[in-house]
Amino acid sequence: MFFRIVAAMACAAGIAGCTAYSGPTHNTDIVTLANGAKAYRVQCLGLLESSQSCMDEVKRICGDKPATRILTVDHVTSDLKSENDPREITFQCSTPVVEQPVQPAPVAVAPVVAPAVASAPVPAHLAPARKITLHGDATFALGSATLTPVATAKLDDFVAANEGVDIDRLTIAGYTDSTGSSELNNRLSAARARSVQGYLATAGLRASTWDVQGYGSASPVAPNTTAIGRAKNRRVDIQIDGK
């Protein structure tokens, strides 16, 4: 399969569009990632378009070069369930690896042993992190799925702490307080979870599987009868499972 499909809705956090052009079955943008690199984003969101339209456009753009997935957005049903049908793909065309000629083995030389130097302690904010939680109005504005600077700073620390870690499964769960309708809370919690996923992906965090869900007002961690309790319940939990 050309890409490993990830069932998630995309957020534009960290990606800025530069150029756009379209065809009869797709829209294509050239975008700038959070690290400044350029990438392509193909969208096939119309009723007459399909995930195959997106895949065909990716193959057309990259030609003989391998395509590296940055982020995929799955089509979802009206009840926010993934259909395993990607309708947006952000990717880069990689340069094929050229095999280098085998060099003669070097002559063995006795190594020079340097005196042992004590390594500096790892700063606490960069220690390996297995789980973080974005709490309350400091990380999302009320009724919004847009990340605040406080939230992106916490996510940047999380990415830095897990640089080079092979992540089997990354779970992102969004929650709200009990105010508002169940439909609104489910939609808002899912949008916040997807915002977090989009930011982590564009910041360079890689995982074999992303589990991104919104649970509305379920599983409160504090009473919803007070403002402080409701703020604690408005949260997004991010957890690494496996390695």
Q: Which tens digits make up the pLDDT trace of 173-212? A: 999 999 889 999 999 999 999 999 999 999 988 889 999 9
Query: Domain spanning 16-93: which CATH class is it, in words?
Result: alpha beta
Q: Is the pLDDT of residue 58 over 50?
A: yes
Mean pLDDT of 31-56: 80
H-assigned helices in 35-143:
51-62, 136-139
CA 142 to CA 15: how far, in whole Å?
Answer: 23
Report DSSP state, residue 140.
Answer: B
Q: Which sign does the torsion angle of CA 121, 126, 132, 134 carry?
A: positive
Residue type, 30: I
Reduced to 3 DSSP states, what percent helix, strand and coil does the chain have, rounded to the nearest 5?
Answer: 25, 30, 45
pLDDT score of 12 more than 90: no
Q: How far is CA 222 from the centre of its chain?
A: 28
Nearby residues of 121 by Cβ (< 8 Å), 6 or more positions away: none
Q: What is the mean pLDDT of residues 16-23?
A: 55
pLDDT 10s digits, 72-95: 777 655 555 556 677 788 888 987
Residue 11 has pLDDT above 70, yes or no: no
- Using DSSP's 3-state secondary structure scheme, residue 187 falls into helix
Give SS3 for 136: helix
* Domain spanning 128-241: CATH 3.30.1330.60: yes
SS (H, E, C) 108-133: CCCCCCCCCCCCCCCCHHHCCCCEEE
Tokens describing residue 229: 């309790």
**Among candidate residues 203, 213, 216, the one with its CA nearest the CA of residue 239:** 213
- Residue 20 in this model has a pLDDT that exceeds 60: no
Q: Is 110 exposed, middle or buried (0-12, 13-18, 19+ CB in 10 A)?
A: exposed
Domain boundaries, the chain: 16-93, 128-241
Under 8 Å between Cβ of 83 and 51: no
How far is the C-alpha of 99 from the C-alpha of 117, rounded, in Å?
37
State the Rg of the chain over Cα: 22
Average pLDDT over residues 20-38: 77
pLDDT value of residue 126: 46
